Amino acid sequence: MIRFVAIAAIGALSAVGAARAVASLDSDRYAASLRPEPAALAAPAPAATQASIRKSADGHYWAEASVNGKAVRFLVDTGATAVALTLDDAKRLGIDTGKLSYSYDVITADGKARAAMVKLASISIAGAKVDNVDALVIEKGLGASLLGMSYLGRLRAFEATQTALILKP
């Protein structure tokens, strides 16, 4: 009998809480309807575009990007803090790698390496463009440039599916 009373009391309290929540939501909606809506906010927002990177046969996501207007192939690496460029890719982008200060110690898949900080004007992948991207030029030991979180983290969102990586600018 005590168990029944306890269950009934919990049910009654839950019902009261739910009713208050609904009433609160309804009053918030009513109060919001009384406020005039600014004209700029009244127009529907344009649909955000998405970019898609297909998963490769090796199980990785390889992105063909435009970096400062030049093509670079990146291995997408969500574990990389920053975009990391191979020495060859940095040179192709016009970066004078001989004048860089390799003052950062980083850990790559091949072990410790030295890196230099650079700023890329833009990285664009299938329309998902990010400007002023921090990147590292890795002095030695990087087999492919990495698309890290200094690019990915500035997107609205990104999502990995079984067949593609969806970028939402």
Average predicted confidence (pLDDT) for the chain: 80
Residues 38 and 55 in one domain: no
Residues 16 and 79 in one domain: no
What local confidence, expressed as pLDDT, does residue 72 receive? 98
Query: How confident is the model over 49-77, as pLDDT tens digits?
Result: 799 999 999 999 999 999 999 999 999 99
Mapped onto helix, strand or coil, the DSSP state of residue 23 is helix
Q: Which domain holds residue 15?
A: 2-42
**Domain count for the chain:** 2
Assign residue 121 the CATH number of its domain. Answer: 2.40.70.10
Residues 34 and 70 in one domain: no
**In this structure, are residues 129 and 169 in contact, taking their beta carbons and an 8 Å threshold?**
yes
Residues 20 and 79 in one domain: no
Residues 14 and 55 in one domain: no
Residues 97 and 56 in one domain: yes
Structure tokens that stand for 102 in this block: 């390799």
Find how far residue 36's CA is from the centre of its chain: 34
Query: How confident is the model over 21-58, as pLDDT tens digits?
Result: 333 334 444 344 444 444 444 444 454 579 999 999 99
Residues 35 and 61 in one domain: no
Residues 16 and 71 in one domain: no
Residues 68 and 7 in one domain: no
Residues 113 and 130 in one domain: yes
Nearest to 89 by CA among 103, 74, 99, 100: 74
Question: What is the strand order of the sheet 157-160 is part of?
Answer: 51-54, 164-168, 157-160
Residues 7 and 30 in one domain: yes
Q: Work out the burial of residue 154: count CB atoms within 10 Å of its CB; fewer than 13 is exposed, 13-18 middle, 19 or more buried.
A: middle
Structure tokens that stand for 160 in this block: 């990995």
What local confidence, expressed as pLDDT, does residue 5 receive? 33
pTM of the model as a whole = 0.71
Residues 129 and 101 in one domain: yes
What residue ranges in 19-169 does DSSP mark as E strands?
51-54, 62-67, 70-76, 83-85, 104-108, 111-125, 128-138, 145-147, 157-160, 164-168
